[in-house]
Amino acid sequence: MGSAVVADRIQFAFTVMFHYLFPIATIGLAPFIAWFAWRAARGDDEVARGASVFWTKIFAINFAVGVVTGIPMEFAFGTNWAPFSAKAGAVIGQPLAMEGVYAFFLESVFLGIMLYGRRRVSPRLYAWSATLVGIGSWLSGFFIVATDAWMQHPVGYRMASDGSIRLVDIGALLFSPFAWWQYAHVLVGALVAGSFIVAGVGAYYLLAERNIEDGRRYVRLGVLVALVASALVIFPTGDRNSADVTKYQPVKLAAMEGLFHSTNGAPLAIIGMPDTQRRELIDPVVVPDVLSFLAYGNFTANVKGLTEYADTLWPPVALTYYAYHVMVGLGTIFIAVAALAVLLLWRGRLTSFRPLLWVLMLAMPFPYIANEAGWVVSEVGRQPWVIYGVMRTADAASTNVAAGETIFTLIGYVGMYFLLGLLFMLLVLREIGLGPNVATHATQEAEV
Amino acid sequence: MNIAAFALLATTIAIYVVLDGYDLGVATVAPLVARGAAQRAAAMESIGPFWNGNEVWLIAAGGLLFALFPRAYASAFSGFYLPFTVVLWLLMFRGISLELRNHLASDLWRGFWDTAFTGASALLAVLFGVALGNLVRGLPLGANGYFLGRFAFLLNPYALGVGIFALLALAQHGLAFLTLRTDGELAERSRRLLARLWWGVLLLYCATTLASLDLRSGTTAEAPMRLAPMVVLSLVALGAVHWFTRSGKPGPAFAASSLFLASLVLAAAITMYPYLLPAFPAGSGGIDVTNAGTGALGTARTLALTLPGLAAVVAYSIFVLRRMRGDPKSTSAR
């Protein structure tokens, strides 16, 4: 690890992947909290009232860790990627500043009402606060994805005479179709995670035979949303994302699919190990012609393989390939699990069928893995570019920060985040252990 | 246009210092004024609902610096790589320690996190002061605008003096906040300590102001003139802190302390303008609003896109504060 850019990349990957665990939960849980808060505002739905308080606590722990791990991300562009910031700051600073101003404040200010003002404001204002917190977290995601989408597919810019990039058309950046499809995909991905968390916690209560009423509601609502969201992940959002990658980043597509040689009627690899030395997929299990169909809507279309391009333009093939297959494989399993659960729900047997409750409970971590794997495909697959076709990652790292310094701070982050992760698990598991009924009861006592 | 952008950035930072300043100040002075578990909890809960929202102003300032002056953002944070990373770690540490203390009802657990909270916050106050001191003093910059010095360069007597001053000024701010937002013994002890600490703030204010004038005197002849109104404002505000504390009016005392902090940030900004990162020694140029900016059009667009949002933030923050007003003791913290 002698080179500074390698250390910078490892540090960014580690800190951003750890950070993203928490936005997954806040983006995914926000609609559930708003739903429960509005139900509670309507009348005496005790389960919904308990749920809105309980899930807000889980949300708040995620939000707090998300904020503290998000601050280093906002400044990482300046600390570790100074040439990139100097060159592209006029463009990407724009959506990042808007995130702070339009999304982050909304989230944090109204979360204050939810955590500290439940007894001081009307149930309607409480429900509005839950809605605004949700809008804040969704907007926040939009500005971040819009920033990333511009780096994937730069639009609306020109090069200035001093070598920096100037934004010509902010509308092109904010309303880029590439950004909107990517954003939709990210949102429903987080919603899959949120719905599996809600269903999973409910399944735990049913299996443990406590908070039965709450557990039933969580499982029912969770699996319904999970089915819709996991279907939307594949179609249309995942499909449109693939189409954009096919069109604008064909090398990434080839790496994702492990396709080394251009093929008419390219097969879709289900299993197989890409080998960049031998330039082939080892022991593949493939479905013939399907990749051509997925990419171009035509079973005989020609799909370009990696060998069409100089290998200096290849992303890390194995990582891109495996991350993509983990994401797609898990996404398929989510649909199957959610569909089975909804079928049982329809037959009225879901909340008493213990094997599936076990599956739902143990499924909770996997949407996180799928979401993270998706980002690995997107970001690792973009290499060697930091701004696609415009600036290479190798030219983007700070030249005045030595590899040794970055390794030192990386070690610090690893230690800090290990501690943070342990404490996060401790707190969330404790809240789940207390459950919605104990939680509302205790809060009432504290507030009286 | 550049002046408006610079002013917006300075104002955002001033708001951050005023708001998060009382969080840091309360944390710093809590072990001195809060006796026993109940008072410690009251001190922590007085800032519990607000620190997260206050910290967002730092994020907003970072985002604005990035959008308005990307080259300054790039140079400053890569140049200050290690100290800035330490600041980030401390910000994380103080955030989690405040959030975590209430989750387990154990004296050992709370005692540990309270100590961590105080230590991280006090160190942050000093480091923010050291950073500001170095910005005013200037930094050795290379031809491409990147910071060339080492860590040790930042630890000069002037900057360290500003660091100690920042610690005391934020402690004063925290005491004014505690006097206002708590009651009984805790508020009274805060008020008494505030009356005594004030003399230290006054002394260090005079010392740092004279040192700052001396630092810049050889270069910009008009700097003392530009600064004069801010010095008057700072002195009036500082005097008002003393006056209102003595006469038992905690609300105006806190407002005066806020004004004092804001005037310090604005005075530093006026001293530095048009530079964002003045070069050391003073007078040898640096990164300024023109060479760090994104052109008149880019700057105008950023202002047009962010100002309405900031106005809305101020409006709904006030709305929420009014709705949440009431006895801070009844605040339920989890």
Per-residue pLDDT tens over the stretch A174-188: 999 999 999 999 999
Residue B330 in domain: no
Instruction: Give the model's pLDDT for residue A320.
Output: 94
Question: Higher model confidence: residue A408 or residue B248?
Answer: A408
User: What phi and psi, each to the nearest 5 degrees, are found at residue A169?
Assistant: -140, 100
Residue B315 in domain: no
DSSP readout, A264-295? ETPPEEEEEEEETTTTEEEEEEEETTHHHHHH
Decide if pLDDT at B223 tops 80. Answer: no
User: What phi and psi, each to the nearest 5 degrees, are found at residue B213?
Assistant: -65, -40
Q: How confident is the model at residue A388 (pLDDT cuts 50, 70, 90)?
A: very high
Greatest mean pLDDT among A48-57, B51-60, B277-286: A48-57
Angle at A434 between CA A432 and CA A437, to 5 degrees: 105
In angstroms, what separates the C-alpha of A377 from chain B's closest C-alpha?
27
Average pLDDT over residues B134-140: 81
At B185, the amino acid letter reads E
Continuous segment of H or E residues that includes residue A167: strand A165-167
Greatest mean pLDDT among A224-233, B99-108, B183-192: A224-233
CB pairs under 8 A between A and B: 219
CA distances from B288 to B73, B295, B304 (A): 12, 12, 22
Instruction: Give the model's pLDDT for residue A148.
Output: 94
Mean pLDDT of chain A: 90
Instruction: Report the alpha-carbon distance of residue B122 to residue A419 in Å, rounded.
Output: 22
Q: Flag the least confident range among A354-368, B126-140, B167-181.
A: B126-140
For residue B41, give every residue at least 6 positions away whose Cβ sits within 8 Å of its Cβ, in sequence order, or none.
B110
What residues of chain B lie within 8 A of the CB of A166, using their CB? 294-295, 298
Domain count, chain B: 1
Q: What tokens appear for A351 in the block?
A: 């909340």
Decide if pLDDT at B179 tops 90. Answer: no
Q: Please check whether residue B224 is in contact with residue B217, taking contact to mean a CB–CB distance below 8 angstroms.
A: yes
* B53/A112 CB distance under 8 A: yes
Q: What tokens appear for B109 in the block?
A: 């657990």
pLDDT in tens, A270-325: 888 998 888 888 888 888 888 888 888 888 888 888 999 998 999 999 999 999 99
Question: Higher model confidence: residue B312 or residue B289?
Answer: B312
Q: How confident is the model at residue A51 (pLDDT cuts 50, 70, 90)?
A: very high
Q: Which of A68, A92, A112 sits opposite B95 (nearest CB)?
A: A68
Question: Higher model confidence: residue A72 or residue B271?
Answer: A72
Residue B139 in domain: yes
pLDDT in tens, A84-95: 998 898 898 899
Percent of chain B whose pLDDT exceeds 70: 93
Q: Please check whether residue A240 is in contact with residue A254, taking contact to mean a CB–CB distance below 8 angstroms.
A: no
> Where in chain A are the domains?
4-262+304-447
Record the pTM. 0.90
Q: What is the CATH number of the domain that holds B137?
A: 1.20.1630.10
* B50/A82 CB distance under 8 A: no
Instruction: Give the model's pLDDT for residue B249.
Output: 85
Instruction: Give the model's pLDDT for residue B195.
Output: 84
Instruction: Give the model's pLDDT for residue B326.
Output: 55
Q: Please check whether residue A207 is in contact with residue A213, taking contact to mean a CB–CB distance below 8 angstroms.
A: no
CA distances from A26 to A184, A200, B188, B267 (A): 16, 16, 41, 40
Residue B233 in domain: yes
In angstroms, what separates the C-alpha of B141 from chain A's closest C-alpha?
11
Chain B within 8 Å of A112 (Cβ-Cβ)? Answer: yes
Residue B321 in domain: no
Chain B within 8 Å of A86 (Cβ-Cβ)? Answer: yes
Instruction: Give the model's pLDDT for residue B84.
Output: 86
Q: Which of A117, A401, A446 sits opposite B323 (nearest CB)?
A: A117
Instruction: Report the alpha-carbon distance of residue B172 to residue B165 in Å, rounded.
Output: 11
Greatest mean pLDDT among A8-12, A433-437, B95-99: A8-12
Residue B257 in domain: yes
Q: Please check whether residue A130 is in contact with residue B67, taking contact to mean a CB–CB distance below 8 angstroms.
A: no
Chain B within 8 Å of A391 (Cβ-Cβ)? Answer: no
Q: Please check whether residue A407 is in contact with residue A10, taking contact to mean a CB–CB distance below 8 angstroms.
A: no
* Range(s) of the domain holding residue B38: 2-303
What residues of chain A lie within 8 A of the CB of B52, using their CB? 63-64, 67, 108, 111-112
Q: What tokens appear for A269 in the block?
A: 């690899």
In angstroms, what separates the C-alpha of B123 from chain A's closest C-alpha?
17
In angstroms, what separates the C-alpha of B85 from chain A's closest C-alpha?
7
* B56/A79 CB distance under 8 A: no
The three-state secondary structure class of A157 is strand
Burial class (CB in 10 A: 0-12, 13-18, 19+), A161: exposed
Continuous segment of H or E residues that includes residue A391: strand A391-392
For B52, name the nearest residue in chain A, comparing CA atoms only: A108
For residue A297, give every residue at least 6 positions away whose Cβ sits within 8 Å of its Cβ, in sequence order, or none.
none
Mean pLDDT of chain B: 82
Q: How confident is the model at residue B330 (pLDDT cuts 50, 70, 90)?
A: very low
Range A167-170 contact pairs with CB under 8 angstroms and sequence separation of 24 or more: A167/A90, A167/A91, A167/A94, A167/B294, A167/B298, A167/B301, A170/A94, A170/B301, A170/B305
pLDDT in tens, A173-232: 899 999 999 999 999 999 999 999 999 999 999 999 999 999 999 999 999 999 999 999
At B35, the amino acid letter reads R
Decide if pLDDT at A395 tops 60. Answer: yes
* ipTM value for the complex: 0.85
